[in-house]
Structure 1
Amino acid sequence: MKISDSIRYVGVNEHQLDLFEGIFDVPNGMAYNSYVIVDEKIAVMDSVGEGFGEEWLSKIQEATGGRKPDYLVVHHMEMDHSANIQKFLEVYPDAKIVASKMAFVMLKSLFGNAIGDITAKQIVVADGATLELGTHQLQFIAASNVHWPEVMFSYETAEKVLFSADAFGKFGALDVEDSEGWACEARRYYFGIVGKFGANVQNVFKKLEGKSIEKICSLHGPVLDADIEKYLNYYRTWSSYSVESEGIVIAYTSVYGNTKKAVEKLAEILNAKGAKKVVVVDLARDDIYECVEEAFRYGKLVLASTTYNAGVFPTMREFIELLNERNYQNRTIAFIENGAWAPAANKAMEKLLEGAKSITFASTKVSIKIAMTDANVAQLEALAAELV
């Protein structure tokens, strides 16, 4: 892949991985992106994951026409982007490593004595530092906690390219056709991995003000080279915890199917009342991070839980905790509970959410004892009227 005459792609695709970061399902694999800027000086932008070192180094040699790189720029030290730094230095011992101060601390932690004393090879860059390559210049932008504390972005001034570390990334290898479009897996990626750090993303946006961006080169997913404002706006919305789309998500747990029937009835009523979008997710069976993604996408959330051990069903508890960890806010939440003799889930769910900011709780709370009754249907009607 050629980004431009001077910027070339040297990343790799991973297809053997079942779980990204040990937790996120990646049925379409994963891309570990790396780039080379070829100028008077040559800069390689990040490494790739373990197991792909030889392929990566071969691509670098091809992209540079056999010239030796002068720099390896490390935007992010997470191991899927740093695993081959030692191999790079073995092949190119005269190259300099360009990274933040904290990245060098992490580099020592990762490789220990195996990497030796690299003091003479270090170029420590902070916010606002520059690196001259010839006609290309890199301007470094500190992006702490997007999503690790050592992260740097860099902005290439000649071609107006933003090298954005993990930001603007998505799940999926680049050699797999993406029928859903960028936003779907980028959203799951963002709220799964970056979502907690919205304030940090907003801080980086302030630093990007006034910079014209024509391409975004992330460490995962495709190069974004058109409609750039669209992608920036997605991140502005997500990082400010704003509502992206009008709609209602119903997230439920059900043991014997009675809570599920109530949820299906509510969805039917909501649709009849003209709800713009109703999304129903089964927390025990659907990908939990797709459920998280949906909860952040839409403005209203109904939590329907079986009472379990006098509290909340385990998958519901996990779901709420995942929302809390990612600073879920600026939403309306409603509750439905079911219990054979003493329904208690509504109170327990509300307590789990007591620390969430800017949450409006629906006044109608539905409480079912085993099976839905006419009285419960009336409650669902009232809840739907409140939500639509």
Structure 2
Amino acid sequence: MQFVFRVFFLLLLAGGVAVGATPAKPVVTGAEQTSLYVPYLKGKRVGMVVNPTAVIGGHSLVDSLLRLGVKITRIFGPEHGFRGNASNGAHVADEVDSATGIPVISLYGARKMPPPQDMAAIDVMIFDIQDVGCRFYTNINTLRDIMDACAAAGKELIILDRPNPNDYVDGPVLDMKLKSGIGQFPIPITHGLTVGEFAQMVNGEGWLKDKQRCKLKIIRLKNYRHGMDYTLPVSPSPNLNTQQSILLYPSLCLFEGTIISQGRGTYMPFTVLGSPALKGQYEFSFTPESIPGKSESPLHMGQACYGLDLRKFDTAPLRKAGRINLSWMIELYKAYPDKARFFDQSYSKQMGSIDKLAGTTAFRQQIIDGKSEADIRRSWEPGLSNYKKMRLRYLLYP
């Protein structure tokens, strides 16, 4: 027995035995492996699709590459802007970055793709944005648009890969009749891919305009395995400001199609749920206020919202099971006194209807009809299982 234990221990130290989802060595992001791509950039005009999550050792990737002699001629900023100081859904204008003097071209608003004149100003494009693994998180839409632009201009796209903090597959596959800005691909709510893997899926499934293919160079992660726990070093957006909010986001973002506040307008967004109409049914409360850079006009602004405090909710069982949580939606619908207003379109059209968020018209009616979570999940088949099989073709990591 002692011999067996000793062999197991040695294998564990060597990384040969997986215990839970804990890595034997720290994950090294694509961006951190500069020796694999900086020499390749020498002498080239470089465009960068980045936001504040593009960091190396706590420092901006843009600043780090400039110090290494890389010639950056354009920066392209997605939702929230290059510096991350724009609220969700806010228009972001073109500007010149005050710290570097580099033109920053906004890709959030009327324009989704880099203009031809800006593509002509680069030789190669870099994409380095931390994703959170959800269909309705708009970074994957930006990735596809960048791939379209690069394919059309004949430019190579270098993806500096980062881990997926919600690395599991769950939810209904999007009915493409409901395609919108918060759902553009026939994938489930959580897709179980890194950005690099998702880019391979976009190419492989013919999701680019005219089924073009984008030339990709992916700087892979080191020491990464699917399903492992990973704490993001930088908040991916203003309203995902804690690890708990990131892990709850796949479940709580569905409430943007309801009259229930998810805590926007507080400093604990996506960790609480509530409404003024639930007073007397729940003791916990919070009051949304206007917060510049986070949420200027949140739902129920200035009103006490009563509901659920999920800041200390243990997400580990959900992640281990690879599931989003449907029980909160079921519970709060049952508790809400004016059920005709629960999926209130006058509010949800601001962020996206529940149908577009869920990716199916069935989900809303299932909640109204009082269907169980098990019944709802059964309705996601066979689409979910078929997606899981398709996904296997694009994996870069075990």
TM-score (ref. length: structure 2) = 0.32
- Say which structure is richer in strand: 1
* Greater relative contact order, per chain length (Cα 8 Å cut-off, separation 6+): 2
Which structure: larger Rg? Answer: 1
TM-score (ref. length: structure 1) = 0.33
